[in-house]
Homo-oligomer: A and B are copies of this chain.
Amino acid sequence: MNDPDFSRCIRDAGGRVTAARLAVLRCLAAAEEPLTPDEVLEHLTQTPGHVPDRVTIYRAIDWLSAHGLVRRLATVGRAARYEPVEDREAHAHFQCRRCGQTRCLPAPSPPLPALPPGYVAERVELVIHGLCAACRAGENA
């Protein structure tokens, strides 16, 4: 995804194309892992270009999330993590219980369980908990 695409996504969603939204969306798309709002700020701080206020990042993420351009993952950590929706396949995530790392996994869409009457499913999320390679190696360190 290149920048013209991002601008277009934002405009198509009915919002104004602003430096903050573009920066956040670009940052999340460039990241290999889902990021927290503070991690987004950190990345943008270390990158040439406009660095929005932390609150603006929160609001940009909220807007992008409300308009289906990014999604918030279910996490065990304290901070929310977001990833771009893009046109990728649905995929699972791994969460390390020791270091908190969250990474994307290639994974088949799991089957949807039966829901109670009246309930509507919109998304299925698969989270694998465990130890990452580094943490497993150094667990007794």
Residues of A participating in the B interface, judged by any CB pair closer than 8 Å? 72-76, 78, 80, 92, 94-95, 97, 103, 105-108, 110-134, 136-137
Contacts and interface: CB of A to CB of B under 8 A. Distances in A.
B94 A74 contact: no
B115 A105 contact: yes
Contacts of A128: 112-113, 115, 121, 123-125
A76 B76 contact: no
A59 B101 CA distance: 24
B130 A121 contact: yes
Contacts of A80: 76, 78
A5 to B, nearest CB: 26
Contacts of A124: 126-129
A33 to B, nearest CB: 12
Which 9 pairs show the lowest CB-CB distances between chains A and B? A118-B133, A107-B113, A110-B110, A74-B74, A123-B129, A125-B127, A121-B130, A122-B130, A74-B127
